[in-house]
Amino acid sequence: FWVSQANHWCEYCKVWLKDTAQSRAVHEKGIKHQENVAKRLSAMRRKAVDEKAAAVQTAKTMKAIEEEAAAQFARDRAEAAAHRAASLGEWVLNHETGQHYNAQHRWYYDSGSKMYYGGDPPDWTASPATLPHAARFERKHADKLKAKKAIGKDLPKQEQEALARREAARARVQQRTMSAFGLQ
């Protein structure tokens, strides 16, 4: 059976050739092929130069953007720190007392006890605010609770034991207090 001869594709000239050494050599020595190869090489060189220039330009642009971003970030941090200092005030250490003082809020901080105190004093008024109802009067059901506690027999055994322990502790505290103040 008959088999056709394989063909060769020239990528520079975009043509099919016979796949023999002689036809390839003749084609590669031709003027058109050499011009196409030279065009391809010059295009590759131009592309490499353009890519290199674009990479340099991109790097330069990115560096400028990063520098501007870093400068803006530093400005933002400084502005935030100034705003924070303005809103919170500055704590100054008083070496005599060992306490820190914030003049803006008029607060003291004791580093020994780790406590804050001070601030604006309360406003003076001719008529003080009235206390809420629960602070002025007992709860409505307080009498019921007292009545229930008064009846010791109706309480469960655990509650009776707890009441006995509570009364014993109260007596011990009272005894210590009396002896501490020299009243006994």
pLDDT digits (tens, 9 = 90+) for 48-85: 999 999 999 999 999 999 999 999 999 999 999 998 88
d(CA 65, CA 59): 10
Task: Compute CA distances 50 → 59, 115, 132, 156, whole Å.
Answer: 14, 68, 83, 96
Q: What is the pTM of this model?
A: 0.39
Residue 66 is encoded by which pair of tokens?
């990063």
Mean pLDDT in the chain? Answer: 85
d(CA 68, CA 28): 55
pLDDT tens column, 110-157: 888 888 888 666 666 677 677 666 565 655 555 555 555 555 567 788
What residue has token string 């607060």?
107
What residue has token string 């500055």?
90
Question: Residues 82-101: what's their mean pLDDT?
Answer: 85
**Position 109 pLDDT exceeds 90:** no
Instruction: Tell me which of 90-99, 123-132, 157-166 is least confident.
Output: 123-132
Question: Residues 21-31: what's their mean pLDDT?
Answer: 95
d(CA 137, CA 127): 20
